Amino acid sequence: DAMVIQNPRYQVTQFGKPVTLSCSQTLNHNVMYWYQQKSSQAPKLLFHYYDKDFNNEADTPDNFQSRRPNTSFCFLDIRSPGLGDAAMYLCATSRSNGWLETQYFGPGTRLLVL
Amino acid sequence: GESVGLHLPTLSVQEGDNSIINCAYSNSASDYFIWYKQESGKGPQFIIDIRSNMDKRQGQRVTVLLNKTVKHLSLQIAATQPGDSAVYFCAESGGTSYGKLTFGQGTILTVHP
């Protein structure tokens, strides 16, 4: 089945130690998104790629970076995780970024910072 | 600023009852709305969507109603089952934010057997 896959499902890192979360998709969608979701809150968009074009949200900290080496894969890099970065990180995809485009989410990676 | 919000943060129902989850939005340019279901420890799952040129759309056991006059959206779940227990988010896009979803705060639905 076509889907959005995130690995690992759980990630533990140390304060200040760089960590990378990965997302892959078999939907062949042009757009890939990264969201941060803290407990009991709605997902918050960090950035997205339309094809190779990177679009950062204005309030996304510089500590968060992303890479998209090809259509199928997208990575979230947290350069120096702080305790406040502990959250669920969700990857989503959509066919395009136009009107009426539904976003499909992966299962998420829960990040714990010690 | 633009926002999408929910009236009720929690909703408890008995199995077999109908559930109604509400959502208010403030961006009058919003023209596409989606309801997501998020179970504990999982990503949001698409349930149903509606375009602004419609006021009602039905799926399997779910109905979404859109009232553009008062900028209100609702999700009705018929014959609610324990497996429906989850957090439900409404999300909207439109205006200057095509392709970007703005999420509401979420409603926790608990279904008691």
Confidence band for B2, pLDDT divided at 50, 70 and 90 = very low
Disruptive mutation site among B2, B93, B107 for chain A (greatest number of A CBs within 10 Å) = B93
Q: Which pLDDT score, from 0 to 100, does residue B96 have?
A: 62
pLDDT tens string A9-19: 999 999 999 99
Cross-chain Cβ contact A42/B105 below 8 Å: yes
Q: Looking at the complex, does the CB of residue A10 fall below 8 Å from at least one CB of chain B?
A: no
Cross-chain Cβ contact B105/A41 below 8 Å: yes
Confidence band for B6, pLDDT divided at 50, 70 and 90 = very low
β-pair partners for A5: A24
Mean pLDDT, rounded, of chain B: 89
pLDDT tens string A58-105: 999 999 999 999 999 999 999 999 999 999 999 999 998 777 788 999
Q: Are strands A87-94 and A109-113 parallel, antiparallel or unpaired?
A: antiparallel
Q: Which pLDDT score, from 0 to 100, does residue B93 have?
A: 86
The Cα A22–Cα A110 span in angstroms is 12
Q: Which of B34, B43, B94 sits opposite A90 (nearest CB)?
A: B43
Q: Which residues of A52-81 are buried (b: 16+ CB within 10 A; e: fewer)?
A: eeeeeeeebeeebbbebeebbebbbebeeb
Q: Looking at the complex, does the CB of residue A31 fall below 8 Å from at least one CB of chain B?
A: yes
pLDDT tens string B47-66: 999 999 999 999 999 999 99
Could you tell me the two tokens for A5? 């896959």
- Nearest chain A Cα distance for residue B81, angstroms: 22
Amino acid, res. B59: G
Q: Looking at the complex, does the CB of residue A39 fall below 8 Å from at least one CB of chain B?
A: no
